[in-house]
Amino acid sequence: IPIDVSCRIDRYNRMSVEIETPTLDQKKIGRTKLAKEISKVCGRRFEPPMISIIKDRCRIQMSEKPVYRIQFGVAQHACDNAQLCGDSYDCFTDGKGRFVAIISDGMGTGGRAAVDGAMASNIMGNLVKAGLGFDCALKIVNSAMQVKSATLDVAVLDLFNGSLSVMKAGAPMSFIKKGRNVERLDAVSVPIGILDEAKFAYAKSTLEENNWLVMVSDGVLAAGDAWIMECIEGWNENSPQTLAETIVEKAQVHRTDGHDDDITVVAIQLRLPSIDL
């Protein structure tokens, strides 16, 4: 029995539905069946819902089925092959037809860096899933990270029109591939937890079918970025996971200064659905 139900059509004529109920067992919610029933009622195709639990409330968010779909892969390497990696990541759809990818790099390596990185990415991800805007969520994360420090790299990809917004707080550049061309996507910024106020630096682009976005932590770029641009440019496979793993392996080989670092790579490919469900 819902506490509240809202149905909205935004300025782009996309429909979204939000349902608030008392806390439910997520395993008992038939996501596919719920999406089909809401689609019948609204006369539009909906994605399976994103469900978040906040205290004693359950929030169910559903968005209209977008034009594109995402395939992504993630690979990591912990400094000195330790058990804990100082980088943390999160990838999800936000219930509004957008795919969100987050990488956070805790300062240093080891257990403390792992805690700081995970704290930053988890708080950021949970706040965005709960419906907060990215700038507002950053302020809360920054307050929580006082006397600690971490970078935040956030990419938001609109699955209806391919528009890409990259938000960086101390994070290194990202890379986009369109056809055979590879471009850097960078924005100068400072990590969170250093200043009383934190702000994202923005960079924007637009992706089309089969274009790529590659996000990396700074451990990848210790030997510069020429080799990674060459790697992405020559990549002909349709496996984001393999690309992410390949970049992680090459990053370790190209580093020749005798040091090691935590490494994280998120590779994302924009695709059209093969079957219209």
pLDDT, tens only, 118-173 = 888 999 999 998 888 899 999 999 888 876 788 999 999 999 999 999 999 999 99
Query: How many whole angstroms separate alpha carbon 268 and alpha carbon 169?
Result: 20
- Check whether 251 has a pLDDT greater than 70: yes
Query: How many whole angstroms separate alpha carbon 239 and alpha carbon 213?
Result: 13
Ramachandran angles phi, psi of 236, nearest 5°: -115, -5
- Check whether 192 has a pLDDT greater than 50: yes
Name the token pair of 235.
Answer: 């990549």
Instruction: Report helix, strand or coil for 142.
Output: helix
pLDDT confidence band for 27 (50 / 70 / 90): low
Sheet holding 87-93, edge to edge: 87-93, 98-106, 150-158, 163-169, 201-206
- Check whether 263 has a pLDDT greater than 80: yes
Asked which of 29-33, 35-39, 146-150, 167-171 is least confident by mean pLDDT, the reply is 146-150
How many residues in total does the chain contain? 277
| pLDDT tens track for 213-235 | 999 999 999 889 999 999 999 99
Average pLDDT score over residue span 179-205: 89
Name the token pair of 127.
Answer: 């706040």
Name the token pair of 190.
Answer: 């400072």
Q: Positive or negative CA dihedral for 127, 129, 135, 141?
A: positive
Residue 42 confidence (pLDDT): 92
Query: How many whole angstroms separate alpha carbon 101 and alpha carbon 167?
Result: 10
- Check whether 275 has a pLDDT greater than 60: no
Q: Which among 237, 178, 171 is positioned nearest to 200, based on CA atoms?
A: 171
- Check whether 60 has a pLDDT greater than 60: yes
- Check whether 63 has a pLDDT greater than 80: yes
**CA geometry: angle 121, 123, 129, nearest 5 deg:** 100
pLDDT confidence band for 276 (50 / 70 / 90): very low
Which strand (E) or helix (H) includes residue 106?
strand 98-106
pLDDT confidence band for 277 (50 / 70 / 90): very low
Higher-confidence position of 274 and 33: 33
Contact by Cβ (8 Å): 200, 138: yes
DSSP-derived pairing of the beta strands 4-9 and 163-169: unpaired
| pLDDT tens track for 12-21 | 788 989 999 9
DSSP-derived pairing of the beta strands 174-178 and 212-216: antiparallel
pLDDT confidence band for 257 (50 / 70 / 90): confident
